Amino acid sequence: MREKTTTLYLGPQHPGITGNMMVKLQVQGDTVVKAETHVGYLHRGFEKLMERRNWLQSFTIVCRICVPEPDPNEENYSRAVEEIEGREVPERAKYIRVMTLELARIATYLLWYGGQSGSAGLYTMPQWSVGDRNYILDLFEDLTGGRIYHMYIWPGGVRRDLPHGFKDKAMRTMDYLEKRLDDYDKLMFENSIFQKRAKGVGIIDPEKATEWGVVGPPLRACGIKSDVRKDDPYEVYDKLDFEVPAMEGSDVWTRALIRRFEIRQSINLVRQALDKMPSGEYYNKIPNPHKWTIPAGDAFVKTESARGEFAYYMVSDGSNKPRRVHVKGPAYVHGVTLLENLLVGENIADVSFIMNSLGTCPPEIER
């Protein structure tokens, strides 16, 4: 290989990058010797904007923080408000929330199917999986009125009850998706070239993974059973039947297998939540939003999103506006420190492949 080092700017305008960010690579031949993440291209100053908006107005903008998966944001915001205020949530709302979160997880994983195989050059897979993701978005549209941004899970419950005939439609969609997932397996997981690409690439040291702040599927691919849904159960996850997968290997292939298992589990969880859902109230009414104040205090809430632990740190000073809402998405660690260290020594061909396997999502790094 040549000794000469070339600087390669991967992004912000680059088809291989996930979202709008930049990875500055120093390459020798085809090998990366140094990587540096540059973010800030999507900074909107959410945390500043929330200081200026009252509790309900802030709720409408939180879902914009992470675009591929907005629901964990709403869930986190609502739960943080409820924890500080001590507001009760009806049982039915909890089940609806769990169902919504799992639907969001399925939608994100379908997008991930597309990203992971698209970055490896398998262009048929994104067409299938992103196309099928529309069926989930259709469910969301029935449920909330929006395809991407739902503003559905709000403090005190959910905004609307399930529409008429929703359960049947959701069940049918789940059956269809389960069938399609077998097709995906044939195209992607049983593809020998994909296996060759994915195995042994982007290995995280399993000993150090927890300490480095790895969360979600990448951590479970290191053989560590860690899932907020089990460790710090929220809503009604402790009443539902599911297990946390963990596999040894910690490369891109293992992460893919973990997600392959989890998307099936999410389909199962949606079915469980729909079956076990009690009847009753779905919303604990909030007062006039302009006069709605929340007692002083702080809360740290976590949700297991499709990419890992999504956390909110919220501080209230007793007024009608949040004092501080600090968002920490999984990509905050995955996309910066972890990625910078993981890319060293890898091939240029694998950079966007590894980024997709970590689930890097720039809007939640910079908010």
Partner 1 sequence: MSENILHNEQKLLNLLEKKFLLKESRIIRAKRVEVKVEPKEVIPVLLYAKENSGYIHFAHMSCVDWIEDGEFEVVYILWHPEEKINLFVKTRVPRDNGSLPNIDFIWRQANTYEREIREMFGLRFEGLEGRKEFILEDWNNIPPMRRDFDTEAYVKEVFFHRLGREDAKDVREKIQERTDEELPDFAKKYSRD
Partner 2 sequence: MYNDKESQKIVDIIQNFARKHSLFVLAYGTGCGAIEIPPTMTSRYDAERFGIRGAATPRQADVLLITGYLATKTLKRVIRVYEQMQDPKYVMGFGSCAINGGMYWDSYNTINMLDKYIPVDVYINGCMPRPEAVIAGFVKLQKLIQEGKADGWDRYKKNLDEYRANQKKIITNWVMPDFNR
Partner 3 sequence: MEGIGYKILGALLTTLLAFTVGMFYAGFRRKIIARIQNRVGPPVYQNFLDVLKLLSKKTSVNHGIMQHLAPLWLITMSVSTLMFIPVLKDGLFFTNLNFSGDLIFLLYIMVFGPLGMALGAGQTGNPNSAIGVSRGLTQMVGFEIPWIMAIVALMIQYKTTSVTGLLDIQSQNGTWMMFSSPLAFIAALLAMPGMFRYAPFDIVGAPAELASGPISEFGGKYLSTMMTSGSIFAFVKLTLYVDLFMGGASNLIELVIKTFALYMYPVLWGAVSPRFRTEQAVRYFWGWPLFFGFAALIYAAF
The residue from 30, 36, 52, 200 that contacts partner 2 (CB under 8 A) is 52
With binding defined as CB under 8 A, does residue 43 bind partner 2?
A: yes
Total binding residues for partner 3 by CB under 8 A?
A: 34
Distance CA 218, CA 224 (A): 9
Q: Amino acid identity of 6? A: T
Task: Locate 161 and state its tokens.
Answer: 């009850």
With binding defined as CB under 8 A, does residue 14 bind partner 2?
A: yes
Alpha helix positions (H), 213-283: 217-220, 228-231, 252-276
Torsion of CA 127, 334, 330, 244, to 10 degrees: 80
Distance CA 320, CA 322 (A): 7
Contact 53, 61 (CB under 8 A): yes
Window 11-30: residues binding partner 3 (CB under 8 A): 14-16, 27, 29-30
From the list partner 2, partner 3, partner 1, none, partner contacted by residue 67 (C-beta under 5 to 8 A by kind) = partner 2
Smallest distance from partner 2 to CB 223, Å: 32
The residue from 162, 332, 356, 359 that contacts partner 1 (CB under 8 A) is 332
The residue from 250, 254, 352, 357 that contacts partner 3 (CB under 8 A) is 352
Window 223-252: residues binding partner 3 (CB under 8 A): none
Strand stretches in the chain, DSSP E: 6-10, 22-28, 31-38, 153-154, 157-158, 297-305, 308-316, 322-328
With binding defined as CB under 8 A, does residue 213 bind partner 2?
A: no
Query: How many Cα atoms within 13 Å fall on the side-chain side of residue 270?
Result: 27
65-104 mask for partner 2 (x: CB under 8 A)?
--xx------------------------------------
With binding defined as CB under 8 A, does residue 333 bind partner 1?
A: yes
Three-state DSSP class for residue 71: helix
Contact 307, 217 (CB under 8 A): yes
Q: How many CB atoms lie within 10 A of CB 127?
A: 11
186-225 mask for partner 1 (x: CB under 8 A)?
------------------------xxxx----------x-
Burial class of residue 238, CB neighbours in 10 A (0-12, 13-18, 19+) = exposed
The residue from 131, 163, 233, 289 that contacts partner 3 (CB under 8 A) is 131
With binding defined as CB under 8 A, does residue 42 bind partner 2?
A: yes
Nearer to partner 3, 56 or 349 (CB): 349
Nearer to partner 1, 350 or 366 (CB): 366
Q: Phi and psi (nearest 5°) for 104?
A: -60, -40
Question: Which residue ranges make up the site for partner 1 (CB under 8 A)?
Answer: 36, 39-40, 43, 45, 47-49, 51-52, 210-213, 224, 226, 231-232, 298, 300, 302, 309, 311, 313, 315, 323-324, 326, 328, 332-333, 336-338, 366
